[in-house]
């Protein structure tokens, strides 16, 4: 395999709650003023990313995995996940509040949907004044109290609201009730899964005037009712240094805050590397090629690359691996 940095054509998703920041701030080629998501690296069936640059331009990620296997993914990744790409990378623009939702764990998702669960993390790239997230409950909760608040249309009273600003980072375990609030633009790293249990949607209607489906009963067995303050990620932002943000079973994310050129040996990693540019710009190079990246762009470096270099005068990057 040619181990050059791969970029993919963004998969843009129109959403009821979406806006225009993915175009206005990140330069995505929007076709709708309600664009909520840009899927940057995806192997979700029906939404598989297509390479945009270099010798493999036009080939999709699924084909590359089948053709190159461990050279692309890493043998350790294949041993854990087979030839299923284990994570999904997105940028999300919430012009309006998203629905209150949660995601099942691996066991429940496998049993019900033949899918991975959905553990995820968020990095806030931009936030309007007063923007916030909903993460978890603001008091002790149990199944019956939760059902009563939901039935009485008072669920918002018992949810925890978090004000946010650029750079804030959140880790969302499976089962954690959550929602992205209006005015937030963020980078999302998650397990490859599109399974969401929507439990409250502000009684909004879609373009056809219909209320969106709720998953009240499915969610009851999936919700983590504990009142845990375990979601805000504390991390350093030292310049020209690797700053660990999240290191969990499903992905590891570091924050690179670079003011000068940076090189990293990754030949012992035995896994692919993804770089999400959240600020600035630079050039990502490996032995087989290079690509320019700027804020809002994403690069996948195949596992066969022994190292990568970032040439820059100023860039902030999320470095993601397995």
Catalytic residue set: 198
Angle among Cα 101, 102, 107 to the nearest 5 degrees reads 155
Report residue 209 as tokens. Answer: 């005037």
Q: Are 136 and 176 in contact (CB under 8 A)?
A: yes
Q: Are 123 and 187 in contact (CB under 8 A)?
A: yes
For strands 307-321 and 184-191, give the pairing: unpaired
Write the CB contacts of 91 (distance below 8 Å, at least 6 apart in sequence): 22, 26, 28, 37, 38, 40, 125, 185, 186, 187, 188, 296
Pick the closest to residue 11 from 33, 32, 42, 34 (CA basis). 42
DSSP 255-306: EEEESS-EEEE-TTS-S-EEEEEEEEEEEEEETTEEEEEETT-EEEE-TT-S
Pick the closest to residue 198 from 87, 99, 98, 317 (CA basis). 99
Other Cβ atoms within 10 Å of 211 Cβ, number: 10
């Amino acid at each position: 395999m040619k181990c050059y940095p791969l970029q993919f054509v963004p998969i843009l998703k129109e959403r009821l709650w979406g806006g225009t920041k993915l175009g206005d701030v990140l330069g995505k080629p929007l076709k709708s003023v309600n664009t909520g998501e840009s899927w940057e690296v995806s192997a979700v069936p029906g939404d598989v990313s297509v390479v945009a640059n270099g010798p493999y331009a036009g080939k999709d990620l699924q084909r590359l995995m089948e053709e190159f296997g461990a050279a692309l993914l890493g043998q350790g990744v294949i041993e854990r996940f087979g030839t299923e790409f284990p994570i999904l990378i997105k940028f999300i623009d919430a012009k309006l509040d998203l629905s209150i939702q949660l995601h099942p764990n691996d066991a429940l998702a496998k049993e019900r949907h033949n899918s991975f669960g959905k553990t995820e993390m968020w990095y806030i790239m931009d936030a309007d004044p007063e923007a916030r997230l909903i993460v978890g409950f603001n008091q002790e909760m149990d199944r019956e109290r939760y059902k009563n608040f939901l039935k009485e249309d008072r669920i918002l009273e018992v949810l925890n609201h978090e004000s946010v600003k650029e750079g804030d980072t959140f880790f969302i375990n499976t089962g954690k009730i959550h929602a992205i609030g209006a005015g937030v633009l963020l980078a999302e790293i998650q397990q490859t899964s599109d399974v969401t249990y929507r439990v409250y949607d502000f009684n909004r209607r879609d373009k056809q005037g219909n209320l969106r489906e709720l998953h009240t009963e499915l969610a009851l067995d999936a919700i983590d009712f504990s009142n845990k303050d375990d979601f805000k990620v504390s991390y350093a932002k030292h310049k020209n240094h690797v700053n660990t943000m999240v290191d969990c079973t499903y992905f590891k994310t570091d924050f690179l805050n670079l003011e000068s050129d940076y090189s990293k040996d990754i030949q012992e990693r035995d896994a692919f590397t993804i770089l999400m540019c959240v600020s600035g710009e630079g050039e990502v190079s490996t032995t087989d090629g290079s690509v320019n990246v700027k804020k809002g762009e994403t690069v996948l470096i195949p596992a066969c690359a022994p190292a990568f270099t970032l040439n820059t005068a100023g860039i902030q990057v999320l470095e993601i691996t397995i």
